[in-house]
Structure 1
Amino acid sequence: MATATRFAFTQPSSPGTEFIIELTDDNTIAHARKILSGEEKNEVHVHGRIVKRTQPYNPKFSFHLDPSTIRFFSMAIEVCDANMVYVEDHLDEAGGAFLPGGHWCPWDSRLSREVK
């Protein structure tokens, strides 16, 4: 099993705000590093399943993404797209008609850095 590695992503729709994810899979960590280096140009957006619980590494939000569900994509269905601040503000609705199954795939998400 990989050493847990954290990355930050931003969304132009939430300027100045970062969301921190934790990756625990070697292949996913390698993929994230390829995105940051510019080697990966297609599957660059974050997708994962929401857990309605704060994590110490992402204290600005009342939710995080389950590390075992995080993947990267180039295109996804619209029903899982949302702004991080909107998700926070409507977290009680997430998992129903809003973000069915708790899947969140912000289309404008872009990894910004590896968190040391």
Structure 2
Amino acid sequence: MKSFYFFTLIGLLLTAGACKEESNDPNCSLEIPADARFFEFAHQGSDYTFIAWTRDSTVLSHVEAQLALPEAERVQHINGQILEQPEGCDLNTGWSWYFNPEDWDLADLSIELCDGNPQYVEDHLEDYLDIDRYCPWSSYVSREISQPQ
């Protein structure tokens, strides 16, 4: 049901004439607004990274505030809904999931139920899709990046 709302939102944006950019893969059906900004998140204690994007001004201000701090002082973690990437897409450094760009923010605290490292989420994706949140406590925004190629 939640994917219905996500795709309805995408349809409304297209109808409104929003400028869209497709993934680099012509087989990827995921469309990303041209004004979306991409961020790489690191996972402390591992070499795992993942990507999230948004154009939400409130979220962007939270991310910018974290990026203005020295890396060691970036203590907020990402918390949001994850979705399964459509076939042919690779917009999250090899993971089969991505954060819903309309439903994530940075948090100081989150419940343990949605914590985990990215590989654990990959291995138990259906469980995390059912939980409807992913909130890796050990994550932090490491840098802004251009759209993944």
Shared fold (TM-score, shorter chain, > 0.5): yes
Aligned to 2:58: 27
CA distance in 2, matches of 1:53, 1:26: 24
Query: Is structure 2 residue 69 aligned with structure 1 residue 38?
Result: yes
Seen in structure 2, the aligned counterparts of structure 1 residues 4 and 52 have a Cα distance that, compared at 3 Å, is same
Query: Aligned residues, how many?
Result: 110
Identical-pair percentage: 29
- What is the CA-CA distance between 1:42 and the residue it aligns to? 7.7
**Residue 102 of structure 2 aligns with which residue?**
68
Match of 1:10 among 31, 42, 67: 42
CA shift for structure 1 position 53? 1.4
Alignment RMSD: 2.3
Alignment gaps of 5+ in structure 2: 1-17, 19-32
* 2:91 is the alignment partner of 1:57: yes
CA contact (8 A) 2:75 2:140 kept: no
In structure 2, how many angstroms separate the alpha carbons of the residues matched to 1:42 and 1:11?
A: 12
SS in 2 for 1:68: strand
- Structure having greater relative contact order (Cα 8 Å, sep ≥ 6): 1
Q: TM-score, normalised by structure 1?
A: 0.83
**Does the 8 A contact of 2:49 with 2:93 survive in 1?**
no
Structure number with bigger Rg: 2
Partner residue, 1:114: 144
- Structure with bigger helix share is 2
User: Which segments of structure 1 move beyond 3 Å, counting only runs of 4 or more?
Assistant: none
